[in-house]
Amino acid sequence: AEALKINTTVTRIDLDYNDIGNTGARHLAEALRINSSIAIIDLSSSEISDKGIRHLAEALKINSSVTNMNLQCNEIGPRGAYFYAEALKINSSMTKINLGENQIGDKGALYLAEALKINPRISVLNLHCTNVTAKGVRLLAEALKINSTVMHIDLSKNTIGDKGAGYLAEALKISSSVVEIDASGSAIGDEGARHFAEALKMNSSVTELTFASNNIGSKGACHIAKALQINNSVTEINFKSNIIGQVGAYHLAEALKVNSSVKSIGLFGNKSLQMEILWALH
């Protein structure tokens, strides 16, 4: 950190999987107040908690060179998310929020949602496995209706359910910036798929959707299939490890006869689909 106060050439620092803790975060934050060359910092799995991110957040209010600070797999909770969000309301260089595998919960989602309504640069929102529920998604979705920069959203391994899927889908009916959504392992069933399908009939920006490891059955697949007959922006869709069955696969195959934008469809882990896949390819 002392060296970085003087150095003007280092643009990237990788400190992931080091036990730097809150003390190390404080030293690094002091350097970031002065340094103007560092753009990318990887602090994932670094034993940083709310106290440590508070130091880093204060530095980000001043620093204008850092664009990506990876804070995944640390010990950051709702209070830490608050400090981080307050910094993002002021900072104009950061483009990515990488807080995956921190237990920020719905309260943390609230703070980040407020920041997204103001921040003019964030394009990536990674909240993978952060204990966010439908309540938190509702708050984030309201922010996405206003935000015009977020392009990539990862809410995988959060129990957002069909209700959370509905909130996110409503935002997609309005947003024209989001291109990729990962909602894998999020307890989404047929009703959630229906919500997304209705959004896809209106949305023209989303190109990639990941629904892997959910509870989507044949009805949900049918809803998405009908949407794909209208939508011409989606290029990749992932249904791996769901329960869409032969009926769901058949309707997807029928949709692919009409759709000309989908280039990749993932169906691994669904049973009895061989014949339907062959029909679609044909």
pLDDT tens digit sequence for 118-164: 999 999 999 999 999 999 999 999 999 999 999 999 999 999 999 99
Residue 266 Ramachandran class (φ > 0 left, ψ -120 to 50 alpha, else beta): beta
Summarize the confidence of residues 42-58 as an average pLDDT.
98
Residue 250 Ramachandran class (φ > 0 left, ψ -120 to 50 alpha, else beta): alpha
Band of the pLDDT at 274, cuts 50, 70, 90?
A: low
Burial 129-143 (b: 16+ CB within 10 A, else e): bbbbbbbbbbbbbbb
Integer Cα distance of 205 and 22 in angstroms: 40
Integer Cα distance of 224 and 217 in angstroms: 11
In this prediction, residue 270 carries a pLDDT of: 84
Residue 32 has pLDDT above 90, yes or no: yes
Band of the pLDDT at 244, cuts 50, 70, 90?
A: very high
In this prediction, residue 246 carries a pLDDT of: 87
DSSP 49: B
In this prediction, residue 277 carries a pLDDT of: 57
Integer Cα distance of 165 and 173 in angstroms: 13
Q: Can you list the positions of beta strands (E) in the chain? A: 12-14, 40-42, 68-70, 96-98, 124-126, 152-154, 180-182, 208-210, 236-238, 264-266
In this prediction, residue 227 carries a pLDDT of: 98
Percent of the chain with pLDDT over 90: 93
Q: Quote the mean pLDDT of the chain.
A: 95
Integer Cα distance of 146 and 258 in angstroms: 33
Residue 34 has pLDDT above 80, yes or no: yes
Summarize the confidence of residues 39-68 as an average pLDDT.
98
- This prediction's pTM: 0.95
In this prediction, residue 272 carries a pLDDT of: 62
